[in-house]
């Protein structure tokens, strides 16, 4: 069945949606995005995603084509029109279509930014069987640009990282820089040692995960000890357990790094508990 997508103010069947070949998102990766998950027909952490979108746009001097309230209304309309019970809403804002290719940014008064949304249905998203088994990751050098805190659509190297992982018979890759883990290809990375949860502190080196913020808040509320600092890949291989967080995977255990099994080689108790807490609590505040 054809999806309804949203393009610059119009709800259209996906076959009828059109973007110019001169759109800067297409030519220059001059675009930012957000992915919000949907559970039980409701949006998880919507306000966090809306706030991060506003920050990404402002860091790039890009105009927001919609207000926060309009964005929420469009998200809800997309969920309703596509009958999404469990799944994802993808949103992209681009610097628009200046009608030609030019490195200089167009005048925002003459070229409005563009906006696109589509949905992905994922029945049983919260019951992903992978969470029972855990993921195997490889480590690869982080050769991305220096503003990883801006959620741009420059996803070629993360895609290559996923392919490298696949080739190695693994599920995902963790990026390392100067021996320390920055984050996963599309998630934030954590280890647990002696009961302490360790994850890299926020900076321009990593994306400020919306799920990360919520999970750390819940961990603090549950009296768990959290240390925000860089950890090395060697420390990770010697950890009791590890996990990643993202809007689409929630909290996902990691059981093997570069062929080294962590602990029992099964999802650890901290990751398992945080996943339960995150899913329970975020469903309560879903909109
Ligand atoms: N880091 C990177 C590089 C990502 O692509 C993502 C997911 N978009 C995350 C972290 C997790 O962010 P969030 O919890 O907001 O999905």
pLDDT in tens, 8-57: 999 999 999 999 999 999 999 999 999 999 999 999 999 999 999 999 99
Cα 105 to averaged position of ligand 1 atoms, centre (Å):
27
Give the number of the atom of ligand 1 that is nearest the alpha carbon of residue 213.
Answer: 14
Per-residue pLDDT, 20 = 97
Per-residue pLDDT, 262 = 98
| Whether the CB of 48 sits within 6 Å of ligand 1 | no
| Whether the CB of 188 sits within 6 Å of ligand 1 | yes
Q: Which of 132, 136, 151, 162 is catalytic?
A: 151
CATH 3.30.470.10-classified regions of the chain: 4-123
| Whether the CB of 4 sits within 6 Å of ligand 1 | no
Per-residue pLDDT, 180 = 98
Per-residue pLDDT, 57 = 98
> 170-203, pLDDT tens digit by residue?
999 999 999 999 999 999 999 999 999 999 999 9
Cα 107 to averaged position of ligand 1 atoms, centre (Å):
30
Calculated CA dihedral for residues 203, 206, 210, 212, nearest 10 degrees:
-90
- Backbone CA torsion sign across 34, 133, 241, 196: positive
pTM of this structure: 0.97
CATH 3.20.10.10-classified regions of the chain: 130-285
Does pLDDT of 237 surpass 90?
yes
CA distances 42 to 87, 165, 247, Å, are 10, 32, 13
Asked if 122 is an active-site residue, the reply is no
Cα 212 to averaged position of ligand 1 atoms, centre (Å):
8
Q: Give the residue, by CA position, lying nearest to ligand 1 atom 5.
A: 186
Give the number of the atom of ligand 1 that is nearest the alpha carbon of residue 206.
Answer: 1
Residue ranges of the alpha helices (H) in the chain?
A: 24-28, 46-59, 68-81, 130-133, 156-167, 210-221, 233-237, 269-284
Say which CATH topology domain 130-285 has: D-amino Acid Aminotransferase; Chain A, domain 2 (3.20.10)
Does pLDDT of 1 surpass 80?
no
Say which CATH topology domain 4-123 has: D-amino Acid Aminotransferase; Chain A, domain 1 (3.30.470)
- Give the integer Cα–Cα distance in Å for 254 and 244: 7
């Amino acid at each position: 069945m054809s999806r309804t997508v949203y393009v610059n103010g119009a709800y259209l069947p996906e076959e009828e949606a059109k973007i110019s070949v001169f759109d800067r998102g297409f030519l220059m990766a001059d675009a930012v995005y957000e992915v919000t998950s949907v559970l039980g027909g409701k949006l998880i952490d919507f306000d966090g995603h809306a706030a991060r979108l506003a920050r990404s746009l402002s860091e790039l001097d890009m105009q927001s084509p919609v207000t926060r309230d309009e964005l929420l209304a469009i998200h809800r309309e997309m969920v309703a029109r596509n009958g999404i019970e469990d799944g994802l809403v993808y949103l992209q804002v681009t610097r628009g279509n200046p009608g030609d290719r030019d490195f200089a940014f167009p005048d925002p008064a003459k070229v409005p930014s563009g906006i696109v949304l589509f949905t992905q249905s994922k029945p049983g998203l919260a019951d992903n069987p992978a969470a029972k088994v855990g993921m195997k990751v490889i480590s690869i050098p982080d050769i991305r640009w220096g503003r990883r805190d801006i959620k741009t659509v420059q996803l070629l190297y993360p895609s290559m990282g996923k392919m490298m992982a696949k080739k190695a018979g693994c599920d995902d890759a963790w990026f390392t820089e100067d021996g320390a883990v920055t984050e996963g290809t599309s998630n934030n990375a954590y280890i647990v040692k002696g009961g302490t949860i360790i994850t890299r502190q926020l900076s321009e080196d990593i994306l400020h995960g919306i799920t990360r913020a919520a999970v750390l808040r819940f961990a603090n509320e549950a009296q768990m000890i959290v240390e925000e600092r860089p950890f090395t890949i060697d420390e990770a291989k010697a950890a009791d357990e590890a996990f990643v967080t993202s809007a689409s995977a929630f909290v996902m255990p990691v059981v093997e790094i570069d062929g080294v099994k962590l602990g029992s080689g099964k999802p650890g108790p901290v990751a398992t508990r945080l996943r339960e807490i995150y899913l329970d609590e975020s469903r309560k505040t879903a909109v």
